[in-house]
Amino acid sequence: MVNNTIYVDEPMVRKKTIEHRAYQVNLAEVAAKESTMIVLSTGLGKTIIAALVAARRLVQHPDSKILFLAPSRPLVDQQARYLRRVLELDEDLVVCLTGHDSPDQRKKTWEEARVVVMTPQALQNDLVQRSYTLENVSLIVFDEAHRGVGNYAYTFIAELYEKQGFNRKSLGLTASPGHQAEHIRVVCENLRLPHVEVRDEKSRDVRDYIVSIDSEMRFITLPPEIEVLRDILYSIVDVYRVPVINQGFSLPEARRMTRKEILKAQKDVRKELGSYTKPPHGLYVVIRNLTALLRVIHLLEFVGTQGLTPTHRYIQGVYEEIRNKKSSKGIKDLVSRSEFKQFESLLSALIEKDHRHPKADAVLEIVSEQLSIDLDSRILIFTRFRDTAVEVCETLEQLDDARVSRFVGQSSRGSDKGFSQKKQVEILDGFRNNEFNVLVATQVGEEGLDIPECNLVVFYDCVPSVVPYIQRRGRTGRHSPGRVVIFVAKGTHDEFYHWSVISKLKKMPSALKEAEKEDDEKQTSLEDFVSDGEIQVAESMVSKAPKKDDHIRLIVDSRELPTAVARELTRLDVVISGESLEIGDYVASEDVAIERKETGDFIQSLIDGRLFVQLSALRSAYRRPVLIIEGEQIIGQRAVNPASIYGALASIAIRIQVPILWTRNAEETANVLYRIAHLEQVGSGKPLRTRSGDTKGSDAQALEYILSGFPGVDTVTSRSILSEFGTLERVFSADQKELQKAKGVGPKIATRIRRLLTTKYPGSES
């Protein structure tokens, strides 16, 4: 049989690896000339376009690097494998880097590579610590570009690339940037993508490559047994709702209540709590009730859309929270109520009698039908919750022809261990090689992973967002006709989510057209997106940034590197060194270390007892410890009596003697940290080094620790002194001239050591 396939024939692209599709080649040509957001339906080859753009940029700038960013480790690994296959480069020059690689390893690998595929968080950490810069990057690809909002690392990386890059081009890839023109504009602005290109199934140059997808809505009617369970939960909602209403707060009736309305009420209550020095007890009751209501609404969603066994597993997780002392009073109150006990008993009885959600029977029927038509079918079933995935797998294992596997993310949830990246790759390979023919996946299967094309995709539940809806649907109908079946349980969250997404989908084409229209009309530079006032603010921020000659430095705990504070410090040109700190979050000098607490974490650490332990250790290790509390409001964050919070603040300031500084947000925190470091390093000239309140290391480390307590003696100098004298006894017996024999010890340090060794402690009796 003659193969008439035409392949892309371009420099830097391996022969016969990329099929020639006009829309992909044309989009790549546009994106190689101008930073572009490409909106393309799932399955139409976004990564292929990115590879073509990368090849062109490598030809134009042969000494440059290409940077691909993807939000998860499996995606990074997948893209790196694809780029090694299609780009005309030695495979060793195409590397993938994630948080699993050490910072030193990432730095070394970056220097040697030509194409780097990374997770944005790992890149942000390296940029914050100045391990390398983006100056030699000729293209950054932002995969799943719709994430480029808020504090997500994409926005910071794009900002830094604009400052550092010499031959800049950026490419954003997404199946759905949003259903509102304003949201799309914000993403494009954040990622510095002034041009927008949109293609979907109806686009003229794409139509020839589209195959049909048969979509079917299957409405599920809940049986009386499940309706009884829901009625019990609705009665519990009323029990908690009435006291909230009586206190003057607004909540809709039980059957119309949503999480959004409960969270709004919580915000209102906390605001009122913060207005009192001694809040009335009724406000704490309201907080407790709202916390319980959130769980009841979640149970209503579970029992209505997921099933009986998943609901039972969820309840067991609640009890585990209580045993581990991680739950609130509201949760404890909920599980102690007679109505809840009644709900539990009925749920257990129904499970024992093998009752299950009608979705279980429906999925059995659909999968059995598909396999009877085509035994070589690949079937993908999506569900939002892991507990449901377990039940769906157990249900489908009843079918002789079904070879089923679960596919979940890497994080563990209690006793449910996540799948490692290696395990995920093994399962996808098994699905591709027909070892499994049914895959039951959670959200991890939605976003970008190279899951083989499926004949049938089942939405076991409905999703509340457009992006996962489009991603789920795009898993079929790529090269051959496919089928999508969406389960909607009547009168449940399914129905609300379904019609909400349909409404958003209807708005999306006009929003995308509006974004394209703005682009055509303006052809703007990025400055046109902001007002004159915003430009003036930006310029004033630049003018406030320190001069590079100041060399302000901070040692930052590695857990703080991904935060907005670290990003703001980078904007202030602070040189950051990331370390795993035993004590404190930031170290400004040998004397000063800072513990940062967001208001929520401050309250939680007060509740679980961490707060005073951490601050006592800080006080013992550093002469001038500082506590920064960050946030607009501390009273009313949780149902904690303000008197307890005020008492804790007083104890911190008076008994532990740690000064407290307040900031409203990450930007203010960064500026305070900068000024503290400036005072210590520029004003006082003190060395920057960490200290520990606990010497768990070797004797040598303990000796170094003791000696480095003298002003001006850092770890390097203490090692030099100990190498010269051998023991602390000989060091302390040496006179000033003898001390100066050690490398790095001059008259000033020697004088300080001798003076302190002979200075009488104030108040001593001898």
Q: What is the DSSP string of 482-502?
A: EEEEEEEETTSHHHHHHHHHH
Helix (H, G, I), strand (E, B) or coil at 180: coil
Residue of higher predicted confidence among 17 and 72: 17
Question: How far is Cα 12 from Cα 17, in angstroms, rounded to an integer?
Answer: 11
> Could you tell me the CA-to-CA distances from 650 to 276, 304, 434, 485, 625 in Å, in that order?
18, 49, 65, 60, 16
- Per-residue pLDDT reduced to its tens digit, 121-173: 999 999 999 999 999 999 999 999 999 988 899 999 999 999 999 999 999 99
Question: How far is Cα 179 from Cα 187, in angstroms, rounded to an integer?
Answer: 12
Which token pair is 282? 């009724």
For β-strands 586-587 and 592-598, DSSP reports them as: antiparallel
pLDDT at 345 over 50: yes
**Is 213-220+357-490's fold the same as 224-352's?**
no
pLDDT averaged over every residue in the chain: 85
> Could you tell me if 658 and 625 are in contact, meaning their C-beta atoms sit under 8 angstroms apart?
yes
Question: How far is Cα 455 from Cα 693, in angstroms, rounded to an integer?
Answer: 61
Helix (H, G, I), strand (E, B) or coil at 199: strand
pLDDT at 533 over 70: no
pLDDT at 428 over 70: yes
Residue of higher predicted confidence among 74 and 359: 359
Which token pair is 696? 């768990």
* Per-residue confidence band for 539, with pLDDT thresholds at 50, 70 and 90: very low
Instruction: Fold for 224-352, please state it.
Output: phosphoenolpyruvate carboxylase, domain 3 (1.20.1320)
- Angle (deg, nearest 10), helices 308-323 and 281-305: 150
Give the homologous superfamily in CATH for domain 699-758: 5' to 3' exonuclease, C-terminal subdomain (1.10.150.20)
By C-alpha distance, which of 85, 239, 67 is closest to 143?
A: 67
By C-alpha distance, which of 373, 343, 521 is closest to 437?
A: 373
Kindly report the three-state secondary structure assignment for every residue of 570-585: HHCCCEEEEECCCCCC
Q: In percent, how much of the chain has pLDDT > 70?
A: 90
Residue of higher predicted confidence among 177 and 611: 611
- Residue 481 DSSP symbol: -
Domain 547-683: top CATH class: alpha beta
* Per-residue confidence band for 176, with pLDDT thresholds at 50, 70 and 90: confident
- Per-residue pLDDT reduced to its tens digit, 353-385: 989 999 999 999 999 999 998 888 889 999 988
pTM as predicted: 0.77
Q: Could you tell me which residues come within 8 angstroms of residue 683 by beta carbon, excluding any fewer than 6 positions away?
A: none
Residue of higher predicted confidence among 586 and 503: 586
For β-strands 575-579 and 482-489, DSSP reports them as: unpaired
* Per-residue confidence band for 697, with pLDDT thresholds at 50, 70 and 90: low
- Per-residue pLDDT reduced to its tens digit, 33-59: 999 999 987 778 899 999 999 999 999
- Residue 686 DSSP symbol: P
Question: How far is Cα 701 from Cα 428, in angstroms, rounded to an integer?
Answer: 48
By C-alpha distance, which of 628, 629, 627, 638 is closest to 603?
A: 638
By C-alpha distance, which of 384, 523, 515 is closest to 460?
A: 384
Residue of higher predicted confidence among 319 and 609: 319
Helix (H, G, I), strand (E, B) or coil at 462: coil
- Per-residue pLDDT reduced to its tens digit, 78-112: 899 999 999 999 999 999 998 888 888 999 999 99
Give the residue-averaged pLDDT of 621-649.
85
- Which residues is 96 bridged to in the sheet? 117
pLDDT at 760 over 90: no
Give the homologous superfamily in CATH for domain 213-220+357-490: P-loop containing nucleotide triphosphate hydrolases (3.40.50.300)
Identity of the amino acid at 148: G
Which token pair is 56? 């062109």
Identity of the amino acid at 212: S
Helix (H, G, I), strand (E, B) or coil at 285: helix
- Residue 87 DSSP symbol: B
**DSSP string for 506-545:** HHHHHHHHHHHHHHHHH---GGGGS-HHHHHHHHHHHHHS
Domain 22-209: top CATH class: alpha beta
- Which residues is 407 bridged to in the sheet? 441
Give the residue-averaged pLDDT of 498-509.
83
Q: Could you tell me which residues come within 8 angstroms of residue 415 by beta carbon, excluding any fewer than 6 positions away?
A: none
Question: How far is Cα 286 from Cα 280, in angstroms, rounded to an integer?
Answer: 11
Of 384-388, 427-431, 598-602, 632-636, least confident by mean pLDDT is: 632-636
Of 350-359, 434-443, 707-716, least confident by mean pLDDT is: 707-716
Question: How far is Cα 615 from Cα 568, in angstroms, rounded to an integer?
Answer: 25
- Which range has highest mean pLDDT (200-214, 300-314, 705-719)? 300-314
- Per-residue pLDDT reduced to its tens digit, 505-522: 887 777 777 766 665 555
Q: How many CA atoms lie within 13 A of 627 on its CB side?
A: 25
pLDDT the model gives residue 482: 82
Question: How far is Cα 526 from Cα 534, in angstroms, rounded to an integer?
Answer: 12
> Could you tell me if 374 and 344 are in contact, meaning their C-beta atoms sit under 8 angstroms apart?
no
pLDDT at 547 over 70: no
Kindly report the three-state secondary structure assignment for every residue of 18-86: CECCHHHHHHHHHHHHCCEEEEECCCCCHHHHHHHHHHHHHHHCCCCEEEEECCCHHHHHHHHHHHHHH
pLDDT the model gives residue 448: 56
By C-alpha distance, which of 452, 314, 448 is closest to 384?
A: 314
pLDDT the model gives residue 139: 97
> Could you tell me if 199 and 44 are in contact, meaning their C-beta atoms sit under 8 angstroms apart?
yes
Q: In percent, how much of the chain has pLDDT > 90?
A: 46
- Per-residue pLDDT reduced to its tens digit, 456-467: 999 999 988 887
Helix (H, G, I), strand (E, B) or coil at 334: helix
> E strands of 396-455, at which residues?
404-407, 438-441
Identity of the amino acid at 728: L
By C-alpha distance, which of 70, 16, 25 is closest to 45?
A: 25
- Which residues is 404 bridged to in the sheet? 438
Q: Break the chain into its structural domains and give their ranges.
A: 22-209, 213-220+357-490, 224-352, 547-683, 699-758
